[in-house]
Amino acid sequence: MTSRNEHPQPRDLVLSGQRLHVRFGGAGPALLLLHSAWGDAEMSWSAVWNDLGRSFTIIAPDMPGFGASAALTKPSLASNANILKELLDEQKVDRAIVIGNSFGAAVAIEFAAAFPERTQRLVLVNGGYLPALPGFLRKLMTSRLLEQWFRTFMRTAAYSDKALAKAFPAPAKLPPGFLDHIGRNAEIHSRNVFNTFINQTKPQIRPSVPATIIWGTGDRLTGMKQAEALWKWLGNAEFMTMVGAGHMPQVERPDVFVEAIRNVG
């Protein structure tokens, strides 16, 4: 591991025969940081990982199919969770606080449900569980005539300028080029998310571990109704709001986010 004050350093590991690009840094209890579907670990977490590294050991992978990590042949939440367990095994980390933002929240839920003994706490940031597709709808969405239409619809719903305007109420608070970066990679990232969604054949199981929800109240892409539904589904989670922040509060209000993570549980 890197020293306490060092910027998280990248390494390429081979897990389950797959190249996984991971950033490591800091010292203390382990934080497993799972990014959104709009980019890689650096885009989602670089605004906070130095400060978090003063209190925690940072483990921030580019999940399969994102950033510099190889894509899975058949991506699913379960396959992502299994690779993350291998990552903790390789690092000899017994338990981690698992933090997932947006799409990363669904992966975090899958990991915590499958490996509760490896999850110290689950933290969900403007994201929740991924619903299972009924068989007839999966067949429709992957039919020769309609698959491309559904792929385009999903990309538009999550990656278009209109979608991003809903997600980020104060774009001036984002780093320079942030939204352009999302647009440049929309095709490959939306394809990976679509494939994962198609392969979700069973409803996600509610994890039995302690949980915290952190939600930017300015997010109109995944609004407060979804946050409240997630809170009810989890049953007994802490609920923290970040007033005025959007879909990625760790990027928009990093100081407040870091303080919130230091105080979870």
CATH of the domain at 145: 3.40.50.1820
Distance CA 8, CA 53 (A): 8
- Check pLDDT > 60 for residue 5: no
1 in a structural domain = no
Interior CA angle at 253 toward 250 and 259, to 5°?
75
- Check pLDDT > 90 for residue 103: yes
What pTM does this model have?
A: 0.95
What pLDDT does 4 receive? 45
Distance CA 44, CA 246 (A): 13
Locate tokens 């571990």: which residue?
A: 209
Structural domain boundaries enclosing 193:
9-262
What percent of the chain stands above pLDDT 70? 97
Q: Yes or no: say if 241 and 153 are a contact pair by the CB < 8 Å rule.
A: no
Q: How confident is the model at residue 7 (pLDDT cuts 50, 70, 90)?
A: confident
Q: How far is CA 243 from the centre of its chain?
A: 21
State the number of CA atoms in the 13 A half-sphere of 181 facing the CB. 14
113 in a structural domain = yes
Task: Give the pLDDT confidence of 198-248 residue by residue, as tens digits.
Answer: 999 889 999 999 999 999 999 999 999 999 999 999 998 999 999 999 999
What pLDDT does 32 receive? 98
167 in a structural domain = yes
Q: Yes or no: say if 15 and 89 are a contact pair by the CB < 8 Å rule.
A: no
Please measure the distance between the N-terminal and C-terminal CA atoms of the chain and give it in whole angstroms. 25
- For residues 34-63, give the mean pLDDT: 97
What pLDDT does 133 receive? 86
4 in a structural domain = no
- Look over the chain and give the mean of its residue pLDDT values, rounded to a whole number: 95
Closest C-alpha to 207, from 100, 119, 80: 119
Q: Yes or no: say if 207 and 129 are a contact pair by the CB < 8 Å rule.
A: no
Q: How confident is the model at residue 3 (pLDDT cuts 50, 70, 90)?
A: very low
- Check pLDDT > 60 for residue 1: no
- Check pLDDT > 90 for residue 52: yes
78 in a structural domain = yes
Distance CA 249, CA 247 (A): 6
What pLDDT does 2 receive? 39
3 in a structural domain = no
- Check pLDDT > 70 for residue 65: yes
The two beta strands, 96-101 and 119-125, are: parallel
92 in a structural domain = yes
Locate tokens 């977490």: which residue?
A: 45
Q: Tell me how many domains the chain contains.
A: 1
- Check pLDDT > 90 for residue 82: yes
2 in a structural domain = no
Burial class (CB in 10 A: 0-12, 13-18, 19+), 168: buried
Cα distances from 207 to residues 113, 129, 227, in angstroms, run: 4, 11, 16
Locate tokens 């890197």: which residue?
A: 2
